[in-house]
Amino acid sequence: MNKAIVRKLLGAAAVLATIAVVAFAGGPAYAGQNANGSIKVSPSVVAAGGTVRISGSVDPQECPTSDSAIPVATDALFPDSFGPATARDAQGAFALNYTVPASTPAGTYQIGLRCGGGNVGVTASLRVIADPIGAPATGAGGTAHGSPRVWTLIGAGWLLAAGVLFALRRKLTRQVL
């Protein structure tokens, strides 16, 4: 085989590997969503004492926009299980910044949503950790707390593509000789 064909094959293999990694790395934009509303917590992992953004929406036809959105969870996360009441815009969207109490035990918490005195039927997960996310960098890379999974998957995909390309190159070199 000539070098131009080998280069085209290697380029096509790299493109296919990238497409596969991106296709399998995607995930839902909202942790909880249904026809009546949605809720999202960002970041989804936080140290006790850290701040998260809780956002989402409640359909104005299901709950008038004059009613507040109220996040709910256990007493460890919200006093009396109710988070701060938050105003909604004309489309029913809301957003609030919430500081997780420093006394919150490490664990995963399900945050629900209430509006107009009833449950909306959506939940989002928040994982509280005991150690701070902003700890000194020690070279843990993709295994560090808060590291997006998508970057780990993209890196693994490129390593896989490199291995395939290396094996293909060795095979083509043997055929030329």
What's the confidence (pLDDT) of residue 161? Answer: 87
Cα(121)–Cα(161) distance, integer angstroms: 42
For residues 11 and 70, membership in a common domain is answered with: no
CATH no. for residue 64?
Answer: 2.60.40.1930
Is residue 116 included in any domain, yes or no? yes
134 in a structural domain? no
Asked if residue 65 has pLDDT above 80, the reply is: yes
Say whether both 19 and 89 belong to one domain: no
Query: Tens of pLDDT along 121-168?
Result: 899 999 999 875 555 555 555 555 555 677 778 888 888 888 888 888
Are 48 and 124 in the same domain? yes
For strands 32-34 and 45-47, give the pairing.
Answer: unpaired
Do both 41 and 20 map to the same domain? no
Spatial distance between the Cα atoms of 8 and 2, rounded to a whole number of angstroms: 10
Residues 6+ positions from 1 with CB-CB distance below 8 Å: 172, 175, 176
Q: Which SS3 state, helix, strand or coil, does residue 29 take? A: coil
Which residues 6+ apart lie within 8 Å of 44 measured at CB? 31, 124, 125, 126, 127
Total domain count, the chain = 2
What local confidence, expressed as pLDDT, does residue 138 receive?
56
CA dihedral sign of residues 53, 57, 63, 64? positive
Domain span holding position 123: 32-129
Q: Do 23 and 41 sit in the same domain of this protein?
A: no
Q: What token pair was written down for 68?
A: 């507040």
**Cα separation, 145 vs 148, whole angstroms:** 9
> Do residue 76 and residue 99 come from a single domain?
yes
**80-131: pLDDT as tens digits:** 899 999 999 999 999 999 999 999 999 999 999 999 888 898 999 999 998 7
Round to whole Å and give the CA distance between 154 and 23: 10
For residues 25 and 149, the answer to whether their CB atoms sit within 8 Å is yes
Helix axes 3-25, 149-176, angle to 10 degrees: 160
At residue 44, the pLDDT reads 93
Q: Are residues 115 and 57 in the same domain?
A: yes
Which pTM does this prediction carry?
0.57
Digit-coded pLDDT (tens) for 4-55: 666 666 665 555 444 544 444 433 333 455 667 999 999 999 999 999 999 9
